[in-house]
Homo-oligomer: A and B are copies of this chain.
Amino acid sequence: MRLRVTYHLACSSRLAGEQARDIAFEQTVELPADAVPSEVAARVAGRVESVEAIGRGRSRAVISFDPGAVCGDLPQLLNLLFGNISLKTGILITGVEWPDELLAAFSGPRLGIAGLRALTGARGRPLLCTALKPLGISAPQLAQLAYGFARAGIDLIKDDHSLADQTTAPFRERVERCQEAVARANGETGGNALYFPNVTSIPSVMSERAGAARRAGCRGVVVNALPAGLGAVGAIAATGLAIMSHPSLAGAFFHPDHGIAPEVLLGDLFRVAGSDAVIYPNVGGRFTFSEATCAAINARLRAPLGSVLPSFPVPAGGIDSARVPHWIERYGADTIFLIGGSLYAQPDPAAAAARLVAAVRRHAHG
């Protein structure tokens, strides 16, 4: 089976056939058809499977590629899908059909939805997550927040994705203090709250930080997947740590007529890269996704996909805690709700978290 990619092209169907053929050659042999031996072109160039008009001067083309061109290599996958054509205009990737051989090569999440549920002990209900912030407060202050959230019953307490190794809360001190605080709270409540530090950095440092997080007792981490490189997600996944991927920089790809559709980038690509949970900006918050886009991301993260486990969608980015029951109705139980600012806007974030937890548990049993 071949890797089938659907492109929306900002041109009429009269021109779309030619443009699709250009893409098929540009992304593989990177030469015009007349400069490639026909035997090589037949084996290696992409194949235009179909081209059709979809109205308003736009067309849809399906191009298939030999999965062998990817070598089971995530950076090469990104390069094949959108590398050179990113530098053109009017080309949007809207769907990918994955051959099993490629899915097996990428491994995907090691825990997935079931594995993260087992770690937290949360069954039959959505998980609640919040972030430790702001950048600029000390490690003991972050640990105190973590303690309060764990006591309140929040399942996952993550570093804000901008916490790196700033002198205000250096990585090692922050991880030890926050993990200790959450473990202490769990000891008092009998709960299983987890603390996920942000380990994003250059590859060697990221690997060191993941090791330090494991040794401190953490079961998972946060990664800014695109700044780090999607291939770096797989390296951390292989250590057995759960990975919550953050969409930092991803918006560069989300133009309506050029880029990679959110459900493909955050749904398919972040998942096959090894993310157990993927954060995205929910509709109605301070970012710009539509409800249809959010539903499509949820669907792509959870759908059957060869040997690749399903991942948790993590809607975020300005979810009002009062609206969480509404979003549970919409998105279902296999969702992690990340509520940050809405808790910090209240005088006592931990007390606000406790009220949120109570509301969600009432809803789950209602």
Contact = CB atoms under 8 A, between A and B. Distances in A.
Interface residues of A, number: 85
A324 interface: no
Contacts of A133: 29-31
A340 B287 CA distance: 42
A91 B154 CA distance: 34
Contacts of A281: 87
A322 B161 CA distance: 50
Interface in A227-274: 227-232, 234-235, 247-255, 258-260
Contacts of A226: 78
Given A69-B162, A133-B29, A202 B234 contact: yes
A217 interface: no
Contacts of A36: 134
A86 B202 contact: no
Interface majority SS (helix, strand, loop, mixed), chain A: mixed
Given A76-B201, A227-B83, A68 B167 contact: yes
A306 interface: no
A85 interface: yes
A232 B252 CA distance: 20
Interface in A327-366: 340-341, 344-345
A62 B47 CA distance: 47
Nearest to A22: B286
Given A167-B68, A227-B229, A232-B203, A35 B344 contact: yes
Contact of A203 (B87, B235, B248, B341): B235
A319 B224 CA distance: 36
A318 to B, nearest CB: 10
Contacts of A136: 28-29, 40, 43-44
| Most chain B CB within a 10 A radius of its CB, from A73, A74, A250 | A73
A165 interface: yes
B88 A204 contact: no
Contacts of A131: 30
A307 interface: no
A179 to B, nearest CB: 20
B229 A76 contact: no
Contact of A162 (B40, B74, B79, B229): B79
A211 interface: no
Nearest to A253: B252
A50 interface: no
A71 interface: yes
A82 interface: yes
A249 B93 CA distance: 13
A340 B248 contact: no
A160 B78 contact: no
Nearest to A76: B164
A231 B252 contact: no
Contacts of A260: 252
Contacts of A205: 73
Interface of A: 26-32, 34-37, 40, 43-44, 68-71, 73-76, 78-80, 82-89, 131, 133-137, 160-162, 164-168, 200-205, 207, 224, 226-232, 234-235, 247-255, 258-260, 281, 286-288, 317, 340-341, 344-345
